[in-house]
Amino acid sequence: MPLHTRRLCVAQLRRVLAARVPAVSSTRSLATSDVRKGEALGMEFRALLRNLVPTPVLVLTALETDGAVRGVTIGSFSSVSAAPPSISFSLKRESRMCRLLENGQSLRFCVNVLGEKQRDVAVVLAQPFLTATEQAAAMQRAGSDFALLDGKVPCVPDALGILVCSDAGSLVAGDHRLFLAQVEQVVRTGSPAGSPLVYLSQEYGSFIPCRDDA
């Protein structure tokens, strides 16, 4: 994705977010009732999404500055464009992976699509405070491992599919940072990990297509 195009996309997103967030005067005091209403809305928002909107379960993998592999489970993933192929995802702003991508410390990374038999991998990499060494050991206990795709980009080799990405632009969105990235390569691994893994109501599961009644 050309640099000027990426900057344009990020600038457009910033304008959209700014338009949706009303400006608050610096002289206006925020009443306790306003705070409570905001907290209640946030709880309702999270509850609805958690219980009614299934999300795909993917793992983002990148290299630390010392060459170690870092992985994190994500659910906030979306395709953005097919021409050129591009995706979006969000990360908590205080997370190690967010800092790696935001500061350009890891210029290429992989988005790994997990299968239903890889629930343990998702659980391991959803733990935010594990070191890279602890992650590697826990991955092996979960029956998986990290590897370097083409000897360069870290991935989960037994994932159902892998997207090799780069050129991540980003912007702040609340307590998260939203990333836009270009897809450089698509890999179908032929993994026997089953159907794609999904997450709903704080549980992992798999996709079952609807069938017409006979």
pLDDT at residue 207 is higher than 50: yes
pTM of the predicted model, to two decimals? 0.76
pLDDT at residue 213 is higher than 70: no
Instruction: Provide the pLDDT confidence category of residue 190 given band limits of 50, 70 and 90.
Output: confident
* Long-range interactions of 36-42: CB distance < 8 A, separation 24+: none
Share of the chain above pLDDT 70, in %: 81
Instruction: Provide the pLDDT confidence category of residue 75 given band limits of 50, 70 and 90.
Output: confident
List pLDDT tens digits, range 130-157: 999 999 999 999 999 999 998 889 999 9
Of 193, 192, 134, which is closest to residue 125 (Cα–Cα)?
134
Q: Give the pLDDT of residue 21.
A: 46
Q: Give the pLDDT of residue 23.
A: 44
Q: Give the pLDDT of residue 35.
A: 59
* Long-range interactions of 134-140: CB distance < 8 A, separation 24+: 135/69, 135/70, 135/71, 136/68, 136/69, 139/71
List pLDDT tens digits, range 166-189: 876 889 988 899 999 999 999 999
Q: Give the pLDDT of residue 33.
A: 61
pLDDT at residue 89 is higher than 50: yes
List pLDDT tens digits, range 7-20: 445 556 556 555 54
